[in-house]
Amino acid sequence: MFNNIVHGVHGYTHYKGGAGHLSFVMHRVSGLGTLLFLSMHILLESTAHYAPHLYERLNAGLRTPIALAAEILMAFLVIFHGVNGYRIAYFDLFHIDLWSLPAAPKAARATWIVSLLLWFPAFIIMLLHGLHVI
């Protein structure tokens, strides 16, 4: 399995697949990042029920510039995963013919633009909220 991972990651970084390949890699990275965040989020929020004092301590402990930066980055990963996921679901379920040149890489690039446009206001608002607590 270890060898498979080494070869796989080498393929992820070296395959010259252009915009579509970049989206594939980014969908995996953002998905895994989101799952890691979600797992911690479930455990952290659960302490509100199981150990309220621990919840308050963890909540206060997470109000640092690093945590804020991580949350803002996380917002981009979630937005990208959602926009790109909609592209994949739409193509696969309703328009299989769009998985072809030149539509596919064009749509992949549009995904980045839409994601960045949605992220930008979120970035500003999260920063403004964050400045209250750090």
Partner 1 sequence: MITLKRETSFKPNYEIRAWKYMRLSAILLVPLVWIHTIINTLIVGAENINLNFVATRWANIGWQVYDILLLTFAFSHGVNGLRQVLFDFTQSHTARRILNMLLLLFWILLSLVGASAILGGIEK
Q: Site residues (CB under 8 A) for partner 1? A: 1, 4-5, 8, 28, 31-32, 34-35, 38-39, 42-43, 45-50, 52, 55-56, 59, 63, 68, 71, 75, 78, 82, 85-86, 88-89, 92-93, 97, 122, 125-126, 129-130, 132-133
What is d(CA 77, CA 33) in angstroms, rounded to the nearest whole number?
A: 8
Is 18 or 41 the residue whose CB approaches partner 1 more closely?
Answer: 41
Is 18 or 129 the residue whose CB approaches partner 1 more closely?
Answer: 129
Distances (CA, A) of 33 to 5, 44, 76, 132: 17, 16, 11, 26
SS3 99: coil
Of 122, 108, 42, whose CA–CA distance to 78 is shortest? Answer: 122
Closest approach, Cβ 19 to partner 1, in A, equals: 20
Is 113 or 129 the residue whose CB approaches partner 1 more closely?
Answer: 129
Closest approach, Cβ 18 to partner 1, in A, equals: 20
Closest approach, Cβ 42 to partner 1, in A, equals: 4
Question: Residue 42 is encoded by which pair of tokens?
Answer: 């479930």
Distances (CA, A) of 58 to 45, 47, 50, 55, 62: 10, 9, 13, 5, 6
Closest approach, Cβ 109 to partner 1, in A, equals: 20
